Every structure is written in structure tokens, then in C-alpha cells.
């Protein structure tokens, strides 16, 4: 097993329980910063589903960011819905300002998230092509709140998220054309014509952690395509840019066999590596290491 790897079910299904945000190492790159912000987006005020805004503000302040807005659907606090926040780090000049729009991924206690994930019919997208119906519906819940604030940002704009949050960040990037899009454990979001709407974005980086099963759905036969080649994190946590299918296959076979021997039988772990590798913390550790 690689250094700093979690097979724990809690890190997969309840990632906010770990806490200790921005304590994993040095967040010197935008990618590592966005990976941790994507984990932070799961932080909620239990037993409800709404953001724990005070905890998020404190975590952002520790790395020089301020929260410029929290966006949650009207039913988010009780019955669930879409969640996002905007974090801003002001520079001395407008062009030095960094604004990060972060979307929450699937919450294991939120039934509406699973409904959005399952609604995989492709429907027409206003910027071109067709996209996952459920993802589009989730973004619609908070889009009207996001646009006024994001439109006033002067400086560098970034969209990011993990899992369902990565899908929503991808849709938002198609709408708002940020300077960069960073996704972690993203499912496929739309067809090739939709993917083409993102070609004007200067930086698009899609991270895939080894066996992460979410990155393989919805399946390609349903006319879904990924946005760009993967930045693949191998079984030891090393980053490989755009590896061949053979390289990925061999690494996944090794990883799954090692996981069965070393982790699957332990109490409190995810049953298979395909699930464990989706945990946000594993993306954070790998990006900090990279």
C-alpha cells in the first residue's frame, strides 16, 4: 500500500468526520488546494445536511481565503439538494485575486443526491451537446444564486469538485468559462458535443484515483464521454499523465489484488478498492504528494 492511503468506510461515506482541513501537507498547487476544498465542501452541520458555515470559514481562513457565498437549494438543510460555496483570496491587484467555486459531491445521507446520480438520460444542454439530466437538474437548484456573485469576481476563476461535485463543476465551467477546471473522481457528464463546449478553458485537469469506480460511469455505450484524458493516480499514489489503457489495467489489477490481501478483511474498511479509492482524502493526499 502507498503511504497515506485510507480504506476506511468513514472517509468514503462521511468524509466530513475526519475534519483537520488543510493539515495534510503543503498546498502549494491549485490542484492540491482544490482537492482539499472539494473535501471541505462535505463539511455539514449534523444532523442536518446544510453547510457548517463557521467551520468552513475557519478552514478557508487558515489558507488565506474568505467565503464569499454559500449556495444551497431551498430544501438542502433538511431533505437535501445541491450545495456549493465560493472562496476568494484577494491579491494586491485584481488580476492576483483567486476565486474558487466548489461543489459538494454525493452525500451518503442525502437521498436527492442519489436521485440526481441515477437520472442518467441525456438531455439538450444550452451551450451545446447533451448532458446527464440529473446533474443538470442539481445545478439548476442553485445556479441563480451563483451567477450574480461569480459575475462580479475580478481575477482568476476556478471551478472544482469531487464526485457529483465534479460533475456540477464541469457543467458550471461550460456555462461560465473559468480559467481552470479541476475535478476529482468525476463521473462522465455528457456527450462529445458537450465536451467540445469546454475546449476554450485554458486548464482542464481530471484526476482519477486508481480503481475509483465513479470515474467509469455512466458507461460509454450510453454516448457519454469524459472531459479530457485522465491524470491517473496509480496504486502507490504516483501521478501519471494520460497513461495508456494497458498501463491503467495492469495497475488496477495489482491494486485490487493487494487490497483484497491487506485491507478488505479489516473491520471498518470499504469492501473493495473500487469504492475505497473514491474517498476524497485519498485524492488530497496524492495531490499534496505530487
Domain locations in the chain?
Answer: 9-289
Quick one: cell of 270?
Answer: 470499504
What pLDDT is stored for residue 80 in this prediction? 63
Pick out the chain residues at pLDDT < 50: none
Cβ-count burial 237-269 (b if 16+ within 10 Å, e if not): beeeeebeeeebeebbeebbebbeeebbeeeeb
Cβ-proximal residues to 275 (8 Å cutoff; 6+ apart), any chain: 12, 213
Topology at the third CATH level for domain 9-289: Rossmann fold (3.40.50)
Three-class SS of the chain: CCCCCCCEHHHHHCHHHCCCCCCCCCCCCHHHHHHHHHHHCCCECCCCCCECHHHHHHHHHCCCCEEEEEEECCCCCCCCCCEEEEEEECCCCHHHCEEEEEECCCCCCCHHHHHHHHCCCEEECCCCCEEEHHHHHHHHHHHHHHHHHHHCCCCEEEEEEECHHHHHHHHHHHHHCCCEEEEECCCCCECHHHHHCCCCCCEEEEEEECCCHHHHCCCHHHCCECCCCEEEECCCCCEEECCCHHHHHHHHHHHHHHHHHHCCCCCCECCCHHHHCCCHHHHHHHHHHC
Residue 119: per-residue pLDDT: 76
Task: Enumerate the β-bridge partners of residue 194.
Answer: none
Amino acid at each position: 500500500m502507498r503511504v497515506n492511503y485510507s480504506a476506511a468506510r468513514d472517509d468514503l461515506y462521511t468524509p466530513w468526520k475526519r475534519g483537520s482541513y488543510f493539515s495534510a501537507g503543503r498546498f502549494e498547487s491549485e490542484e492540491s488546494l482544490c482537492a482539499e476544498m472539494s473535501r471541505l465542501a462535505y463539511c455539514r452541520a449534523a444532523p442536518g445536511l446544510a453547510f457548517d458555515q463557521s467551520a468552513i470559514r475557519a478552514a478557508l481562513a487558515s489558507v488565506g481565503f474568505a467565503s464569499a457565498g454559500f449556495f444551497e437549494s431551498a430544501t438542502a438543510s433538511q431533505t437535501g439538494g445541491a450545495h456549493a460555496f465560493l472562496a476568494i483570496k484577494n491579491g494586491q491587484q485584481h488580476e492576483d485575486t483567486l476565486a474558487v467555486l466548489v461543489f459538494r459531491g454525493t452525500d451518503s445521507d442525502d437521498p436527492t443526491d442519489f436521485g440526481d446520480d441515477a437520472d442518467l438520460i441525456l438531455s439538450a444542454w444550452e451551450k451545446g451537446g447533451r448532458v446527464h439530466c440529473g446533474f443538470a437538474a442539481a445545478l439548476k437548484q442553485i445556479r441563480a444564486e451563483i451567477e450574480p456573485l461569480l459575475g462580479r469576481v475580478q481575477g482568476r476563476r476556478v471551478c472544482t469538485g469531487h464526485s457529483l461535485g465534479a460533475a456540477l463543476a464541469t457543467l458550471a465551467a461550460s456555462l461560465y468559462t473559468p480559467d481552470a477546471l479541476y475535478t476529482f473522481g468525476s463521473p462522465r457528464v455528457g456527450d462529445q458535443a458537450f465536451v467540445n463546449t469546454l475546449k476554450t478553458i485554458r486548464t482542464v485537469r481530471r484526476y482519477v484515483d486508481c480503481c475509483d469506480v465513479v470515474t467509469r460511469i455512466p458507461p460509454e455505450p450510453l454516448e457519454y464521454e469524459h472531459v479530457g484524458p485522465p491524470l491517473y493516480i496509480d496504486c502507490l499514489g504516483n501521478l501519471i499523465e494520460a497513461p495508456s489503457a494497458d498501463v491503467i489495467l495492469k495497475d488496477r489489477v495489482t491494486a485490487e489484488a493487494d487490497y483484497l490481501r491487506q485491507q478488505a478483511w479489516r473491520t471498518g474498511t470499504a469492501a473493495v478498492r473500487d469504492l475505497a479509492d473514491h474517498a476524497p482524502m485519498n485524492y488530497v493526499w496524492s495531490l499534496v504528494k505530487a
